[in-house]
Amino acid sequence: MEKSSRSLLTYALVYLTFLYAPVFLLPIFAFNDSAIISLPLSGFTFDWFLMLWSTKSLHEAFYNSMMIALISASLSTTLGIFAARATSRFEFPGKRGIVGFLMLPLVLPEIIVGVALLVVMVQLDLSLSAWTVVIGHVLICTPFAIAILSSAFNSFDISLEEASLDLGVNKIGTFFRVILPMVAPGIISSFLIAFTISLDEFIIAFFLTGTDVTLPVYIWGQLRFPARLPSIMALGFLMVLLSLLLLLVAEYFRRRSTQFSAHNSASNESIF
Amino acid sequence: MANSSEINYLQQPAKRTFWSIPKAYQNSARGYFLISPPFLYSLIMLAAPLALVVLLSLWTQNYLELDRTITLKNYAEAVTEPLYSLLMSRSLVISGLVTLTTVVLAYPIAYYVAMFGGKRKSMWLLLITIPFWTSYLIRIFLWKVILGYNGVINGSLLGLGLIEEPLTFILYNANAVVLTLAHAWAPFAILPIYVSLSRIDKSLLEAARDLGDNAFQRFFRVTLPLSMPGVVAACLIVFIPTVGDYVTPKLLGGTDGLMIANMIQIQFGKANNAPLGSALAVVAMFIVAAISISFVLLTRRFLKTKA
């Protein structure tokens, strides 16, 4: 037993090296004083970061991505709250089928979602914009929101809700004064995960973006120009820092949301 | 599950009056009411567009005009044209290899965290997910840097004197695509396997040991069968989206690593033949669905066991 756990630990560490290999290279090339992304390294520089500061098209893409991510995360979290509340407290015929349908984008190739929405826009003669990207992103973020929020809604004690109703608070009051504060950490965590997914999504955005280029679509365009690559590394490095910050905040709130459920640990596991 | 509302209804006859809706039915009405916003959204923004894709695939593109007569011409072309069958079968083979590689590499680490993680379980899971919050495009590009002619691997091997000239078989082919996708989808394989492993009742393993099974037998007769729901979920979660990936093949695949999604993208873009692109997308979706469903059916006997 002891021996097998040690060899597994060795494997785990080698595997982590594989997982982290690209991430470690990012800061190396972001600060490397050479216009070519290859070894050996030549020197230390901040130029690539300064270049980012002065690229106007990048700022527009950043702004578009932020707005799209903010709106998509809000909408998908709202839809997730409806679905999680419905599935955690009510039984109705066809529930499994409906939930399965809502979870469908999780196993649908993104290119299919992108193509389907593109076809609708072209056939209805509507123009592509940041809003069409939002429509697609809400679709793919909602399953994640439902998964996170279902565990939050399932994990708090139903008797608290009943107590509130018995004490004369009406249903709407109970929802806002009892249920919502209890699931708030789950809501924040769902919002941040959806935000991060939308911020990084490329395939759907590529099909639906029109002239409002998002950050990943901008990066895709720049990858063709070797001269632009070092500054893309710098940009990637900044984005990792931002994502890490968001992830840690999300993780903090996710843990707080599962603290309520110490007595009910079976229901706070993820949908997997 | 679906019947429990009726059971409730039968158990509470006293609350029924002729003018009020039985409580159980009222409950299902509230359930439907609450689920309707997300359901309607998916219906309008996903189901309807998918139906339109199917309709479009039955029309034909005549240069700039769309011929709206219903025909199976695009499907005939999608199925008979050798290039499309080649790309389709290559996509399936590459996705199959990616799935196999990802799941086989992921299983031991999921096993380690679930069985030996102890108090550090969440730390391990966090460590596993952190690399995936790097921009997807940049991560794939960095693999190009690692595998390239002047890349990190070739540079180190040359520097150590292990090779005379740079290796070329590691970039711009299917190997590079498989390796990069096995990296990109790692957490999606690790997490479901981890969850099903951590749900296994440890007393079953102790029972097997008491009954004389050695470690090897315990793993293959108890642990592995009980973790199959996670393995099956991992396979589907990795396989289905990778068939439709077009970024990795485009950046790392070279000409013999291109996949069906690249062709779909070309039909909607440069080739300006959306109906043919739709037909290819529908065919791809059906083949993937057929493979996934048969996979679930084949592994069904493992999925029924309850931990």
Per-residue confidence in pLDDT tens, chain B, 307 aa:
444 444 444 444 444 444 555 565 667 888 888 899 999 999 999 999 999 999 999 988 877 777 788 888 889 988 899 999 999 999 999 999 999 999 999 999 999 998 888 788 888 888 888 888 778 888 888 888 888 777 778 777 887 877 777 777 777 888 888 999 999 899 889 988 998 898 888 888 888 888 888 888 888 888 888 888 899 989 998 998 888 888 888 888 877 778 899 999 999 888 888 899 999 999 999 999 999 999 988 888 776 654 4
Residue A210 maps to a domain: yes
Other Cβ atoms less than 10 A from the Cβ of A64: the count is 22
Q: Are residues B44 and B108 in the same domain?
A: no
Residue B67 maps to a domain: no
Q: Are residues B159 and B28 in the same domain?
A: no
Q: Are residues B79 and B51 in the same domain?
A: no
Other Cβ atoms less than 10 A from the Cβ of B288: the count is 25
| ipTM over the 0.95 cut-off | no
User: Which residues on adjacent β-strands are paired with residue A44?
Assistant: A32
The CA distance from A126 to A62, in Å, is: 24
Q: Are residues B100 and B51 in the same domain?
A: no
Residue B86 maps to a domain: yes
Tell me how far CA of residue A48 lies from CA of A45, A65, A213, A230, in angstroms. Answer: 7, 21, 21, 6
Partners of B137 on chain A (C-beta within 8 Å) are 202, 216, 219-220, 223
Please indicate whether, in this complex, the C-beta atoms of A95 and B31 are within 8 angstroms of each other: yes
Residue A145 maps to a domain: yes
Quote the distance between the C-alpha of residue A247 and its chain's center. Answer: 9
Residue B33 maps to a domain: yes
Tell me how far CA of residue B223 lies from CA of A10, A103, A270, B203, in angstroms. Answer: 21, 28, 20, 12
Name the packing angle between helices B260-268 and B274-298 (round to 10°).
Answer: 150
Whichever domain contains B109, its CATH number is: 1.10.3720.10
Please indicate whether, in this complex, the C-beta atoms of B34 and A223 are within 8 angstroms of each other: no
Residue B241 maps to a domain: yes
Q: Are residues B1 and B138 in the same domain?
A: no
* Amino acid at position B283, single letter: V
Q: Are residues B133 and B241 in the same domain?
A: yes
Of A107, A115, A139, the CB nearest to B45: A139
The tokens of A48 are what? 């690539």
Q: Among A191, A205, A248, A249, which residue's Cα sits nearest to residue A70?
A: A191
Pairing of strands B65-67, B60-62: antiparallel
Q: Are residues B232 and B299 in the same domain?
A: yes
Higher pLDDT, A28 or A215: A215
Whichever domain contains A228, its CATH number is: 1.10.3720.10
What's the number of domains chain B is made of?
Answer: 2
Residue A93 maps to a domain: yes
Q: Are residues B2 and B150 in the same domain?
A: no
The CA distance from A115 to B267, in Å, is: 11
Residue B62 maps to a domain: no
Please indicate whether, in this complex, the C-beta atoms of A110 and B138 are within 8 angstroms of each other: no
What pLDDT is stored for residue B5 in this prediction?
A: 45
Q: How many CB pairs under 8 A join A and B?
A: 255
Over residues A104-155, the pLDDT tens digits come to: 888 888 889 999 999 898 888 888 888 999 999 999 999 999 988 988 888 7
Q: Are residues B24 and B155 in the same domain?
A: no
What's the number of domains chain A is made of?
Answer: 1
Higher pLDDT, B21 or A254: A254
Identify the domain containing residue A129 by its residue range. Answer: 56-268
Interface test with A, best of B112, B237, B251 (most A CBs within 10 A): B112
Identify the domain containing residue B6 by its residue range. Answer: 1-57
Give this prediction's pTM.
Answer: 0.82
Q: What is the Cβ-side half-sphere exposure of residue A84, based on CA atoms within 13 angstroms?
A: 31
Which range scores top for mean pLDDT: A47-51, A70-74, B13-17, B54-58?
A70-74
Q: Are residues B44 and B180 in the same domain?
A: no
Q: Are residues B135 and B255 in the same domain?
A: yes
Quote the distance between the C-alpha of residue A135 and its chain's center. Answer: 15
